[in-house]
Amino acid sequence: HLRSTAPLSERTVRYTIIDGRYDGPLIPSPERSCVKFSGTETEECVVEGFTFTGARSSTGGGLDGGGAHATVRNCRFISLSGLGRKSDYPSGGAINDLDGLIEDNFFFENFSEDGGAVSHCDGTIRGNHFEQNMATGVGGYKVYYEGKGGALYNCDGRIIDNDFVSNECLRSGNPIGGGGAMYGCDGWIEGNRFESNTAPSGGALLACHGAIIGNRFENNQALEREGGAVSNSQGPIVDNEFIGNIANSGGALHNCSGLISGNHFFGNECFLSVTIGALGAANVSYARGGALEGCVGLIERNLFIENRAVGGTYRGGLGSCEVAGAYGGAISGGTGTLRNNLFIQNECVTGDCGSPDPNPGISRGGAICGFEGEIVHNTFVENRGVERGGALDDCPGAVRNNIFWLNTADEGAQIQNGSLPDHCLIQDWT
């Protein structure tokens, strides 16, 4: 065992420091981890009660696990770097390739190309706090790409009861990365708090294909593309809270293909994205899906409240005012079955250019736009589509046994441009 004198004392842990800082003459400084395991250690080997800081190694600035199953608990990992050239794929600012229990640790301001704090750790990760860790991506001597996993990268064990706060992925070039908190973690993800994490895509999670159960996602942002909270997940997403997440498409979820059940989606938003090309032309991405975009499969027993798709105006050629539209206050695109969900006060809105040519633009589907599967046994109340489709717009699949009431739009207050509803209760339907 490697323990401090009082591993449960916050003061002792804070001041029992293993500092891997290099003060010699070599530039750049040599790579070395604070602790390097042989790789044969079992769970009976315990590291507990230290602060690790200052080290730099592309195989884990704090701990280089070497595939060991050692236990690490009650430690602090502060300002460690996973950058360097010892590995072709530097990752894990604090810990790399340790497959034992990682429990009750504090990770702060660590960084690496991928996995700002922890990478390739397949044991249980439980009860830790990850804050302001960063995946920097790659530049310089390699092909440019975005960082992946602001806190965790390719960790496939159980990830339970952790806090992920203000972790970040930076954009370094070609858009192949993301996941402000986690990337490529395919184990069971349960009971975690994800708050204010940011990335170009997948504000909290990207490409995590295990079960996502009972987590809270709040104020995460995909600043340039899709999935304010979660993007590209294939596992079940059940009994989570998604609150105030933001993206260009899919304010909460984007391109998720597992069961989506029992979740609360409240106040998520997708927004207009405009970038200016090399020749001054505007590249415009419409706002699609305040809560969900492009999700496939069974979507049932969820609550969608006050989610928004928000278009707006931008300057086109010769300074002209142009308007970009918005689609689906709660859901845009996707297919499968929507069943037993409740949609309340979602809206799809856009701006205008003012007089003399207001050009109000497109705003379609206060609750849902362009969902191609069946829509059965849902309730839609007080959703707003502005231009058309207060509740539904352009949904060609079967629409059966739903309630539509107090929804509003200039055209088709309840439903517009979809299949003929069957056995539905629809206000003012003729």
Amino acid 144: pLDDT: 47
Tokens 């200039």 appear where?
410
Contact 247, 222 (CB under 8 A): yes
CB 158 within 8 Å of CB 125: yes
Enclosing H/E stretch for 167: none
Cα–Cα distance measured from residue 424 to residue 430, given in angstroms and rounded to the nearest whole number: 12
Burial environment of residue 77 by CB neighbours within 10 A (0 to 12, 13 to 18, 19 or more): buried
Residue 135 three-state SS: strand
Q: Is the peptide bond before 396 cis (omega within 30 degrees of 0)?
A: no
Beta pairing partners, 64: 36, 96
DSSP 287-340: EE-SSEES-EEEEES-EEES-EEE-EEEE-GGG-EEEE-EE-SSEES-EEEEES
Q: Report pLDDT for 362.
A: 78
The per-residue pLDDT for range 87-141, each reduced to its tens digit, is: 566 678 999 999 999 999 999 999 998 899 999 999 999 999 999 999 987 654 4
Buried b (16+ CB within 10 A) or exposed e, 97-122: bbbbbbbbbbbbbbbbbbbbbbbbbb
Parallel, antiparallel or unpaired: strands 273-276 and 282-285? antiparallel
Q: What is the pLDDT of residue 142?
A: 45
How much is the pLDDT for 141? 45
Residues of the chain with pLDDT under 50: 140-144, 172-174, 355-356
Q: Is 387 helix (H, G, I), strand (E, B) or coil?
A: strand
Place of tokens 């997948």: 202
Rounded CA-CA distance 280/275 in Å is 9
| pTM of the predicted model as reported, rounded to 2 decimal places | 0.92
| Phi, psi values for residue 251, rounded to 5° | -55, -35
